[in-house]
Copies of this chain bind each other. A is one copy, B any other.
Amino acid sequence: MHARRPATLASLAAELGVSRTTVSNAYNRPDQLSPELRRRVLETARRLGYPGPDPVARSLRTRKAGAVGLLLTENLSYAFRDPAAIGFLEGLALACEGAGQGLHLVPVNPEREDVAAVHSAGVDGFVVYSVPDDDPHLAAVLSRPVPTVVCDQPRVDGVDLVGIDDHAAIAQLAGRLITLGHRNVGVLCMRLARDRNDGFASVARQRTAHFHVQRARLAALADSFAAAGVDWERVPVVERFDHSSAMGESAAAQLLDANPEVTALICTSDILALGALAEAKRRGLRVPHDLTVTGFDGIVEAERVGLTTIRQPVLEKGRAAGKLLLGAADHSRPRHITLDTELVLGTTSAPPRTTEQPWFGP
């Protein structure tokens, strides 16, 4: 009979001659009405094709959406492409499923400033994963009146935070390379700002990088090598906007073309390092004899090839973020969690070649 408009709680109540409250209770508080009436309500619902209380209307009334939003810098699909992101999300998903919360991935485009998607996500809180400091999407999230946890970001006033000590972690790695004798190093890093710059990154650009993680790692490298007598101004740093192994390859090629004297390639991610290894192979450079390559993250693909890298607990990071967001009764003062990292000495690092000098001229 109610074929046209789909049935609503109100229409069901009218049909039954009871109040809307009662129908609502039939679904949400079975103890508030007699079993007999409840049976009738549910049966009539089936007959009328009423699918149960509308989730959106319920959310509006109860002020709960039952989901946490995830914002990341990249395209949505990147979440399923980068092993580190996947690990992070697995951890976050673990926390969510434990709390019966859904996970709402917010679609953004890193090259656009369209924050509408952030404004239209019906969620109870946000996890923000490694976006640039000045990202308009981050600002949009912070403007929303819901709790937020940021990851791999600098502190934001009044916001919970999960991360690692990027500076200390990579300083440890740098120390190792210095001990081995490397002085001619080159760096491959990820996107430093929201504008696309596939090429060398000046020291100024490094210092003002909008991505906290990259900035911290580069600063630590600069500090470490400067302390070892290396003039950081002369250290080539090549940046890539997109994060993929192919980009690591091309970045390594660009760097080695311009600086053949380099004996160690320090990459700020394992993905880039894997690309660098591929490029080294293509050039006939033996790793680690001719060239040392290091990464960062500790993804399984890196472990498989014995990459020297920093292992960070990506899964645990995601889980910690989720727990912070969900478990937290006390949101009075922001909490900061710093997780441990570990230097993994693989087979891609060794002392520099001891031959006289590079093959190419003066």
Q: Give A residues with C-beta under 8 Å from B.
A: 6, 51-60, 65-67, 75-77, 79-81, 86-87, 89-91, 93-94, 96-97, 100-107, 109, 116-117, 119-122, 143-145
Give the CA-CA distance A159 to B93 in the complex, in Å. Answer: 28
Contact A90 B96 (CB under 8 A): no
Given A77-B93, A107-B103, residue A56 in contact with residue B53 (CB < 8 A) = no
Contact A97 B119 (CB under 8 A): no
Contact A90 B81 (CB under 8 A): yes
Residues of chain B contacted by A79 (CB below 8 angstroms) = 93
Q: Which of B56, B116, B119 contacts A60 (CB 8 A)?
A: B56
Stoichiometry (number of copies): 2
Contact B103 A105 (CB under 8 A): yes
Give the CA-CA distance A105 to B103 in the complex, in Å. Answer: 5
Given A90-B80, A94-B77, A109-B97, residue A67 in contact with residue B145 (CB < 8 A) = no
Residues of chain B contacted by A107 (CB below 8 angstroms) = 96-97, 100-103
A274 to chain B, nearest CB (A): 13
Contact A122 B56 (CB under 8 A): yes
A287 to chain B, nearest CB (A): 19
Q: Which of B52, B56, B57, B104 contacts A103 (CB 8 A)?
A: B104
Contact A96 B121 (CB under 8 A): no
Contact A90 B77 (CB under 8 A): yes
- Chain B residue with minimal CB distance to A81? B90
Residues of chain B contacted by A51 (CB below 8 angstroms) = 119, 143-145
